[in-house]
Structure 1
């Protein structure tokens, strides 16, 4: 396949415009949580689009939606492409959504040119990738890959006590276990980078070589609240201890350098009042790296520092690990196809490791997997200002088209 075959950008823009109206916010974002009315509306129109494109649509017992374009060889394992249509609260228009709508455009383009493939091509929309309403995230892909058992997933509750299963039934997307993804040879997920590197390096394609492992922790610090006039040397201030710990966490990437990332999410202080020291701090943090050994060394550094700071400041600490996912190296074959696609269209590219987790990191357990990144403005994501130019979107979808067709003919 040469450079001449490109997707229909005008049609893709129109598809995005329709998506943007479903759960669209006044500030140009998307608010489309799992199993809400907006999620159902988006699922319904996505199913119709796939049927209109001649795909055989099915839904599995976790609500994952698949559309299959039959290949010439019915016995060959398929190529699967896709991502997710749900969003974070008041989030952007592209995270996940790009990967699903781009996959639809790939199939539409192949149909336009009457191109057949040896392998079948399947589009997928994974349920609850974001995990904002039903925690943890990626329950749809986690269910079909055995990361979580069915009973656990079905009994996960949202903030109102509604279970995953109840939500699935409410929007009428409870399908059959027999419809789960199976006999998949390759999976490719197109996604926005959610980071600054492609834009900073003036590259339009990220050839993703893997996803960093992520370990998440909850830390509770208990001190003694005292009057603001109490001598500093005699205080057991939870906030001061937490602040020193936060700096240790933030300093780990400087120690290890090798693409390690750390972040602090929740940071709650009590009492949070003028002229009084803090008694309690609740905080969360995560540590990410592709190499599990490096990640563990950083975590051990942090744990040791927490104990030392707690002793020095006279506070009590309780550390709880709430999540642990291993890093995932992607398929060399799929990585090579993505690289070849970028070179075929003469798009500037670079190799990159994903810091955020994606459905692809789970699907890599059952199929040879890869990802394609496109730059997002200032690296911003999970917010309404999230933006990707259609010029860059077109390039990303063209590379997805190239890699999908090549893999579907192996």
Structure 2
């Protein structure tokens, strides 16, 4: 690599400015961002991103699920590009950095290479993947999942939001149902920068997280069927209380996750009482469960122990509990050579760093199933994410972008 490329640094102020400029699209009064996928606000940020890519000399394509790809040509166009990027959609009460940092750092990397007049051997493609968050349409990370073949394009296009709007209708409404078939854009490898969304890097005063694995996920839909009866006239021993049953399941899930810790977590994230009333014992409740671990054997144990606990609780309380596994994603183990490339970049740039497991799912986790992939983490304040209080330091964001750029340069090669 040339000396100019070795010493190359991104423009920290320009990256920071882009992050805060795009935060106006869906800005909330509390300083966060509400930019649900394929919404009017999502169209605004997509239009901004498309123009920024074109202004940087990139050839922009949009696929049938709305994912955006900006191609920077390399000297050797016979090989697929190095993919880099993340997503621009947010949670309903999201922050400025989740996904956005990785996508805009990819753009800033291209701008920096352009400013320095650096040509890479392999092309580079920056990406904005549709619906990573999964807050409007399920599943999360749907576009990258379809890219790797977990779902068909038609299946995803038919998915509906809470108002009954399909993905196809939403894409057409904002004008982002592209012509390119899903999967046509190939990659040699993929690298994603992201805030950690957890407290480890900040607690250990580390600037860079070298992500070597990602947790597997188990998602369940549950339904408890007890018996509705009068809250005042039904004796305690004769009750078939769905809510009391759920309370035991919540505590059981917590206990099971702790038993298999520290490499396990479990959460009851949603619970809905059917026809709730102050003076009626709840008779029916729908709920969800989220279990995660980076160890496949622990995932099996979580499933086994949860089902056993649910069965025991249901029998004791004389209720029916249906527990359906609706999604299982295996743990991710990122490509060792790419993980080493990230670590080497952090070392060369002099940033403090550590190996780390991703607690959240990311598009790179899906892509790793069909190509070499890796991730770079930077700290976020108090580990808070999916929240309007989400925050990160400009210096850390710039450091992550520099590690991203030098990782990509090591993979793409610098034309001499």
Q: TM-score, normalised by structure 1?
A: 0.95
Structure 1 runs of 4+ with >6 Å offset: none
Q: Which moved more, 1:217-226 or 1:185-194?
A: 217-226
Determine if contact 2:249/2:309 at 8 Å carries over to the other structure.
Answer: yes
What residue is the counterpart of 2:329 in the other structure? 325
The CA deviation at 1:70 is 0.8
Check 1:383–1:178 CA distance in 2 against 1; reply closer, same or farther (3 A cut): same
The CA deviation at 1:49 is 0.7
2:252 counterpart (248, 251, 274): 248
What residue is the counterpart of 1:363 in the other structure? 367
Determine if contact 1:80/1:124 at 8 Å carries over to the other structure.
Answer: yes
2:93 is the counterpart of 1:90 = yes
2:402 is the counterpart of 1:398 = yes
Q: Can you list the C-alpha shifts for 1:253-277, whole angstroms capped at 9, x where unaligned?
A: 3211241111110123456555654
The CA deviation at 1:230 is 4.4
1:169 counterpart (157, 169, 172): 172
CA distance, structure 2, for counterparts of residue 302 and residue 111 of structure 1 = 53
Determine if contact 1:58/1:179 at 8 Å carries over to the other structure.
Answer: no
CA distance, structure 2, for counterparts of residue 259 and residue 167 of structure 1 = 38
CA distance, structure 2, for counterparts of residue 4 and residue 228 of structure 1 = 75
Q: Which moved more, 1:166-175 or 1:177-186?
A: 177-186
CA distance, structure 1, for counterparts of residue 166 and residue 317 of structure 2 = 42
The CA deviation at 1:282 is 2.2
2:354 is the counterpart of 1:350 = yes
2:282 is the counterpart of 1:304 = no
The CA deviation at 1:318 is 1.2
Q: Which ranges of structure 1 fall in alignment gaps of 5 or more residues?
A: none
What residue is the counterpart of 2:137 in the other structure? 134
2:8 is the counterpart of 1:5 = yes
Q: Which moved more, 1:116-125 or 1:228-237?
A: 228-237
What residue is the counterpart of 2:127 in the other structure? 124
Determine if contact 2:147/2:182 at 8 Å carries over to the other structure.
Answer: no
**SS of corresponding position for 2:388:** coil
What residue is the counterpart of 2:223 in the other structure? 220
CA distance, structure 2, for counterparts of residue 86 and residue 226 of structure 1 = 45
Determine if contact 2:148/2:183 at 8 Å carries over to the other structure.
Answer: no
CA distance, structure 2, for counterparts of residue 270 and residue 179 of structure 1 = 39
2:58 is the counterpart of 1:59 = no
What residue is the counterpart of 2:378 in the other structure? 374
The CA deviation at 1:232 is 3.1
Map residues 144-293 of structure 1 onto 2, 5 A cutoff. 144-178=147-181, 180-224=183-227, 225-228=229-232, 230-269=234-273, 272-274=276-278, 277-293=281-297
Q: Can you list the C-alpha shifts for 1:124-151, whole angstroms capped at 9, x where unaligned?
A: 0011111222222222212221111011
The CA deviation at 1:223 is 2.2
1:14 counterpart (11, 14, 17): 17
The CA deviation at 1:181 is 4.8
The CA deviation at 1:249 is 0.5
**SS of corresponding position for 2:156:** helix
1:24 counterpart (24, 27, 46): 27
The CA deviation at 1:202 is 1.5
Determine if contact 1:63/1:173 at 8 Å carries over to the other structure.
Answer: yes
CA distance, structure 2, for counterparts of residue 192 and residue 264 of structure 1 = 24
Q: What is the number of residues matched between the two proteins?
A: 410
Determine if contact 1:33/1:39 at 8 Å carries over to the other structure.
Answer: yes
The CA deviation at 1:64 is 1.0
**SS of corresponding position for 2:223:** strand
CA distance, structure 1, for counterparts of residue 363 and residue 341 of structure 2 = 20
Determine if contact 1:63/1:174 at 8 Å carries over to the other structure.
Answer: yes
CA distance, structure 2, for counterparts of residue 36 and residue 337 of structure 1 = 37
The CA deviation at 1:234 is 3.5
**SS of corresponding position for 1:199:** helix
CA distance, structure 2, for counterparts of residue 156 and residue 276 of structure 1 = 35
Q: Which ranges of structure 2 fall in alignment gaps of 5 or more residues?
A: none
What residue is the counterpart of 1:111 in the other structure? 114
**SS of corresponding position for 2:16:** helix
Determine if contact 2:214/2:359 at 8 Å carries over to the other structure.
Answer: yes
The CA deviation at 1:409 is 1.4
CA distance, structure 2, for counterparts of residue 406 and residue 228 of structure 1 = 71
CA distance, structure 2, for counterparts of residue 272 and residue 370 of structure 1 = 47
What residue is the counterpart of 2:84 in the other structure? 81
Q: TM-score, normalised by structure 2?
A: 0.94
The CA deviation at 1:180 is 4.1
